[in-house]
Amino acid sequence: KTEIHKEEWNRRLHEVQVTKRDLNRLIMDYLVIEGYKSAAEEFSQEAGLPPPVDFESIESRMNIREAIQRGDVEDAIMRMNDLNPEILDTNPALYFRLQQQKLIEYIRHNRVAEALQFAQEELAPRGEESPEFLSELERTMALLVFDSASAPAGISELLSPAQRVKTAGEVNAAILESSSQGKEAKLVGLLKLLSWGEAMLSERAEFPRVCDPNSWSVLGINEPLGRSAIAACA
């Protein structure tokens, strides 16, 4: 393989011209998508960038995500309808996910009678409409059969914090899409492309990898961008 030394590699990197405005737009996109409202407002003023969205909509979106992550699905649904009722009206799969999460919360708090009634009245009819919905309903109802210690991994994971985060992520993406924004920050997409490019290049050459925490200083990647870099380069 061809070997590219660090000095040569850094020289080539710095030869690539990227305008400050393009970098600022990438940062603004990241702050908006990830929901850093205060930072986005300050950065908009400092960089002289017009707001890409109404900053209040960022706060509304984050309130919805936080409601799901603390298990208050009813509050999240109410806030979504206040923000844009068409999101759930036109996305039955997302609405089912929210109702499934609500059922999980009933079971989490041992509200068995309410869980059974809710499943029968709200989720069973939707399960008849789709094999996927029915399968997810059956998986969720299996939580009533097992205790948390003996439940198979594919069932017990429904009670994990990661399940709330997953549902909140799907809702967040749907809200972004409804406002004609990307589901994922452009910076994260670029990091994924970078990781793919490095994998292709590594078949022909030895070089200092940028998708390496020790090399991120070359790009100026720090927290919170570093968390996205970890996920994209994994």
Q: Are 71 and 161 in contact (CB under 8 A)?
A: no
| pTM (predicted TM-score) | 0.75
**pLDDT confidence of residue 212:** 59
Question: For residue 98, is it within any domain?
Answer: yes
Give the whole-number percent of the chain exceeding pLDDT 70: 89
Question: For residue 195, is it within any domain?
Answer: no
Per-residue pLDDT, averaged over 193-214, amounts to 83
What average pLDDT does the chain have? 87
Question: For residue 215, is it within any domain?
Answer: no
Question: For residue 134, is it within any domain?
Answer: yes
Q: Domain containing 166: what range?
A: 56-180
Question: For residue 233, is it within any domain?
Answer: no
Question: For residue 41, is it within any domain?
Answer: no
pLDDT of 223 higher than 60: no
Question: For residue 37, is it within any domain?
Answer: no
Three-state secondary structure string covering the chain: CEECCHHHHHHHHHHCCCCHHHHHHHHHHHHHHHCCHHHHHHHHHHHCCCCCCCHHHHHHHHHHHHHHHCCCHHHHHHHHHHHCCHHHHCCHHHHHHHHHHHHHHHHHCCCHHHHHHHHHHHHHHHHCCCHHHHHHHHHHHHHHCCCCCCCCHHHHHHHCHHHHHHHHHHHHHHHHHHCCCCCCCHHHHHHHHHHHHHHHHCCCEECCCCCCHHHHHHCCCCCCHHHHHHHHHC
pLDDT digits (tens, 9 = 90+) for 65-90: 999 999 999 999 999 999 999 999 99
Number of domains in the chain: 1
Q: With cut-offs at 50, 70 and 90, classify the pLDDT of residue 219.
A: very low
Question: For residue 71, is it within any domain?
Answer: yes
